[in-house]
């Protein structure tokens, strides 16, 4: 079994995929696997959705791809209009990319171009958070507080200031839970002042942290508090919604929960649901205006930016989600699913926290529930659970290092938005079985 972000086994250890149908995938031996995590939170409509496949086929029959500097396309224009409507007021432009890492990279570049357009060339520094993950390009990796994924590239990364994670289960020492948002906002302001506001371009964060934290929603009031700090000091806010956006938490933008609109936003995974790779960077009104007035265009993009068939896939996925009112299902059913999972795992003292929003749920396991001490890294508990679940026909997303970059074990569940109630029940049953088997297997 392999997991996202460079973890897992070599190719020779992997089962060979045959096909997918709905919430299941099948290997060449015929074994079925219930996709409880949407791969790495990608497959929002499951697999082989006939309408999405048909939309892609129709696009391929006319033309697969129109080079962005020569042509626009109906698929691109319709998708852009739909995304801007779904995101609500505050955004002006969509820059398409091939995946989430490229979307974050473009977000960083747009922030820098904005200040260059304003003649503020000293504003080059980024501030990010510990226990964060933003992608595999060097820029996105630079703003990621994920030690194990950074280690091989240290020395070639951007110089970035890191502030504390926004994790109510693991708040900074001495910080009361009800004062966490204010504490973190003060810490961010101190970091901006220490670096010099004239040197800071943007603060980037995940509204709900994915792989690096194991689904960690920021505490209430956090998003508004850090945005106010950034506004005071002329610092842009970049929301990385690659994993938590596109409806995963029950609203199209994860920050809609907080009624906050960032200056720049990245989105990917659920955008085209894994049918064809697609990401996007959405640019706010003020940022867009300054850049376009000065430069006339965004200085970011790649050969396949706005790939026509990818846009057709994204358009089909998003139309189905809206037509079938799947975000309403994610909101209502997600809360029940999380509560049922919490109850199912309540017999294990080592399950320290079950958290999340919508169809984005994290389970954190701890060696000592009183002190919240993690299991040692050498135990590799999350991957043990993932392997046992996989053998039992369940795909989940095990992650490690959420406590200090090395130790810490979490399991992410991110089922398709159209998963049935019976499938959600089966995910819960099989995960509970895997957790029990792994905990009984040794420490």
Domain boundary among 323, 342, 365: 323
CA 255 to chain CA mean position, Å: 12
Q: Verify that 19 and 149 share a domain, yes or no.
A: no
How many residues make up the chain in this entry?
A: 443
* 202 touches 126 (CB < 8 A): yes
Domain that holds residue 244: 53-323
Q: Verify that 303 and 363 share a domain, yes or no.
A: no
* 138 touches 153 (CB < 8 A): yes
How far apart CA 286 and CA 297 sit, in angstroms, is: 14
Beta bridge partners of 39: none
Q: Assess if residue 80 is contained within a domain.
A: yes
Per DSSP, helices labelled H in 100-216 are: 100-117, 138-142, 147-150, 180-195
Q: Verify that 15 and 155 share a domain, yes or no.
A: no
Domain boundary among 270, 305, 323: 323
Which tokens in the block code for residue 192?
């901006």
CA-to-CA separations, 328 to 84, 248, 252, 425, 431, in angstroms, rounded: 19, 11, 11, 19, 25
Name the pTM for this structure.
0.95
Q: Is the dihedral of CA 194, 195, 198, 203 positive or negative?
A: negative
CB neighbours of residue 359 within 10 Å: 31
Per-residue pLDDT in tens (0 to 9) along the chain, 443 residues: 333 444 444 456 889 999 999 999 999 999 999 999 999 999 999 999 999 999 999 999 999 999 988 999 999 999 999 999 999 999 999 999 999 999 999 999 999 999 999 999 999 999 999 999 999 999 999 999 998 899 999 999 999 999 999 999 999 988 987 899 999 999 999 999 999 999 999 999 999 999 999 999 999 999 999 999 999 999 999 999 999 999 999 999 999 999 999 999 999 999 999 999 999 999 999 999 999 999 999 999 999 999 999 999 999 999 999 999 999 999 999 999 999 999 999 999 999 999 999 999 999 999 999 999 999 999 999 999 999 999 999 999 999 999 988 999 999 999 999 999 999 999 999 999 999 999 998 65
The C-alpha angle 63, 309, 279, rounded to 5 degrees, equals 150
Q: Verify that 261 and 273 share a domain, yes or no.
A: yes
Contacts of residue 373, Cβ cutoff 8 Å, sequence gap at least 6: 366, 367
How far apart CA 34 and CA 195 sit, in angstroms, is: 48
Which tokens in the block code for residue 205?
């964060």
Number of separate domains in the chain: 2
Q: Verify that 200 and 57 share a domain, yes or no.
A: yes
How far apart CA 415 and CA 326 sit, in angstroms, is: 12
Q: Verify that 367 and 434 share a domain, yes or no.
A: yes
């Amino acid at each position: 079994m392999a997991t996202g972000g460079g973890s897992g086994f070599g190719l020779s250890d992997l089962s060979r995929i045959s096909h997918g149908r709905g919430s299941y995938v099948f290997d060449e031996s015929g074994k079925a696997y219930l996709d409880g995590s949407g791969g790495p939170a990608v497959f929002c409509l499951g697999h082989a959705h006939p309408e999405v496949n048909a939309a892609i086929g129709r696009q391929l029959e006319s033309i697969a791809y129109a080079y962005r500097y020569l042509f626009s396309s109906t698929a691109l224009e319709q998708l852009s209009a739909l995304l801007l409507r779904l995101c609500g007021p505050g955004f002006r432009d969509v820059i398409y990319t091939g995946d989430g890492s490229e979307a974050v990279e473009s977000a960083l570049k747009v922030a820098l171009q904005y200040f260059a357009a304003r003649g503020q060339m000293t504003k080059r520094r980024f501030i990010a958070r510990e226990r964060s993950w933003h992608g595999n390009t060097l820029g996105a990796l630079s703003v990621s507080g994920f030690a194990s994924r950074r280690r091989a590239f240290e020395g070639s990364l951007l110089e970035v200031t890191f502030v504390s994670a926004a994790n109510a289960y693991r708040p900074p020492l001495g910080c009361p839970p009800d004062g966490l948002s204010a504490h973190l906002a003060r810490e961010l302001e101190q970091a901006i002042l220490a670096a010099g506001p004239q040197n800071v371009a943007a603060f980037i964060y995940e509204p709900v942290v994915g792989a690096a934290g194991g689904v960690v929603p920021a505490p209430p009031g956090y998003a508004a508090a850090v945005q106010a700090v950034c506004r005071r000091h002329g610092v842009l806010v970049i929301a990385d919604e690659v994993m938590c956006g596109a409806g995963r938490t029950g609203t199209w933008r994860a920050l809609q929960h907080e009624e906050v609109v960032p200056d720049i936003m990245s989105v990917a995974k659920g955008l085209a649901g894994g049918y064809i790779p697609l990401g996007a960077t959405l640019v706010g009104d003020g940022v867009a205006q300054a850049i376009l007035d000065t430069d006339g265009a965004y200085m970011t993009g790649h050969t396949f930016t706005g790939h026509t068939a990818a846009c057709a896939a994204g358009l089909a996925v998003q139309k189905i989600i809206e037509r079938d009112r799947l975000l309403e299902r994610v909101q209502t059913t997600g809360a029940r699913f999380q509560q049922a999972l919490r109850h199912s795992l309540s017999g294990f003292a080592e399950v320290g926290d079950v958290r999340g929003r919508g169809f984005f749920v994290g389970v954190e396991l701890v060696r000592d529930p009183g002190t919240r001490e993690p299991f040692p890294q050498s135990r590799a508990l999350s991957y043990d659970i993932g392997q046992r679940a996989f053998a039992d026909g369940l795909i989940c997303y095990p992650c490690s290092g959420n406590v200090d970059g090395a130790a810490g074990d979490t399991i992410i569940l991110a089922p398709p938005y159209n998963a049935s109630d019976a499938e959600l029940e089966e995910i819960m049953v099989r995960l509970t079985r895997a957790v029990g088997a792994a905990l009984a297997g040794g420490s």
